Amino acid sequence: MEIYSFKIQSIKGEEFDFSTLKGKKILIVNVASECGFTKQYAQLQELYEQFAGQLEIIGIPCNDFGGQEPGAKEEIVNFCRVNYGVTFSITEKVGIKHNMHPIYLWLTDAVNNNGIKQEVTWNFCKFLVNEEGLIEAFLPSNVEPLDEQILTWLS
């Protein structure tokens, strides 16, 4: 199974179909508005603009880690737009530790992902998905979006 078989609701309630991302690299990040890593939104936006057309960034809000994304949809959208000028895709708020969303069941399952099995441990963990729809790497929260590991992967 590859990522292209998944669909998720956007933060605005529209269906987001991962099959539309075929041929692009995808960076999936579980995001939160009240986290010490929230400032990474700025670098995520910069990365998105720098690699437009080559990279899709999918921010997936989650309140499972420290209750740091308590806001409703409208609050999340407004926070991202006003504070960080976010134009990359933001999805509905999902569960990761509790009532895990199917996309995270897939992302964390080594059988589907070239032997990569990584538990999401906090907000702003990153999955790097290649143009074939397979996970190439997992990066923890403290790896910033403009880190050399990500820039090298995009080159």
**Positions marked catalytic:** 35
Residue 93's alpha-carbon distances to 61, 72, 100, 116, in angstroms, are 5, 9, 11, 24
Say how far apart CA 138 and CA 94 lie, in whole Å: 19
Instruction: Give me 20's structure tokens.
Output: 């539309």
Cα separation, 109 vs 119, in Å, equals 9
Residue 3 amino acid letter? I
Residue type, 108: T
Q: Is 23 left (phi over 0), alpha (psi -120 to 50) or beta?
A: left
- Distance from chain centroid for Cα 120: 11
The token pair that represents 28 in the structure block: 């999936």
